[in-house]
Chains A and B, each alone.
Chain A
Amino acid sequence: MIPLQHYLILSAALFCLGLYIVLVRKNAVAILMGIELILNAASIAFVAFSRFITPYGAGGIGGLVVPGAPAVGGQTFVIFVIIIAVCEAAVALAIILNIYQNFRTVDTDQTKGLKG
């Protein structure tokens, strides 16, 4: 059996790699990849907590706690995280394509139309 801490350390490492990508990259699409890695790290942590910590019987239907219903709160939250990630990717890529049409580049250092 793998202890909870190993899942959390994996999640932390993935989060830090995503953070590093967001900080270091110049290409806007690459920055978006870093954000996806951060979201995946958060999802792993959510599912791990849901698997190891949420007590049996905390699930339920219609706001009622049903004894014996397994808790799926963490997994449900990850479904919403995936929905948000899809929306964010679609809108962000549309914005990036518009930036490319205007500047002919997606380098975030060269898109400084607002800088006087």
Chain B
Amino acid sequence: MVFGDLIYQLIFYCLAALVLGSALVVAMSRNIVYSAFALLLTFFSVAGIYVFLSAQFLAVAQVVIYVGGILVLILFAVMLTNRIKDVNLSNPSIPPYIAAPLALVIFAGLVWMITNTPWNSVGLQEVGTINDIGNVLMGKYLLAFEVAAVLLLGALLGAAYLARRIKN
């Protein structure tokens, strides 16, 4: 039992290291194609973290929507907006003298807040299944669901209108 717990924790911390390591590659890589593929690894590992939180539906949605949708869109944009010949230095950065300390200070503040707040944690809660999510979406959050549908329609029309080729 103790050994099983050890394996469980080991897998979690490996996944967390994978999330942060690949996000670091996204932040540091000098080639935007490498950044995009590191983002793929980040999204997959975040799906793994969702599995650890017993949110299986979200893990599947993360893989299908982020990896299958958003990342493919981003790769399309990368390929369409970079001439292939200068692809090896396609991801320029400004010097990080202000941004890196700022991000570190915010991180330190967040960690201080997280470790010092007496979280009203009542232990692991009952896991909501996809059945419960469907019930809530069709009941309590029906208005938000419909608004999201209208938003998706608007985004679809807007993106198609913006990306059309103007003939003149």
A residues whose Cβ falls under 8 Å from a Cβ of B: 1-10, 12-21, 23-27, 29-30, 32-34, 36-37, 40, 43-44, 47-48, 50-56, 59-63, 69-73, 75-76, 78-80, 82-91, 93-98, 100, 106-107
Contacts and interface: CB of A to CB of B under 8 A. Distances in A.
Interface string B9-39: 1001000100110011011000010011001
Interface in B85-136: 90-94, 96, 98-100, 102-104, 106-107, 110-111, 114-115, 119-129, 132-133, 135-136
Q: Which 3 A-B pairs have the closest CB atoms?
A: A72-B128, A87-B155, A94-B162
A48 B53 contact: yes
A13 B156 CA distance: 33
Contacts of B92: 25-27, 107
A58 B19 CA distance: 31
19 contacts: A3-B121, A7-B53, A16-B104, A24-B99, A30-B35, A34-B26, A34-B27, A43-B58, A51-B124, A52-B122, A52-B123, A59-B128, A70-B125, A71-B125, A72-B128, A79-B58, A85-B66, A87-B151, A107-B92
How would you classify the secondary structure of chain A's contact residues: helix, strand, loop or mixed? helix
A33 B66 contact: no
B55 interface: yes
A26 B140 CA distance: 42
Contact of B42 (A4, A40, A88, A89): A40
Given A2-B52, A85-B66, 10 more contacts: A5-B115, A26-B94, A29-B32, A29-B74, A53-B125, A55-B125, A80-B148, A85-B70, A86-B155, A90-B159
A80 to B, nearest CB: 6
Given A7-B53, A75-B133, A54 B125 contact: yes
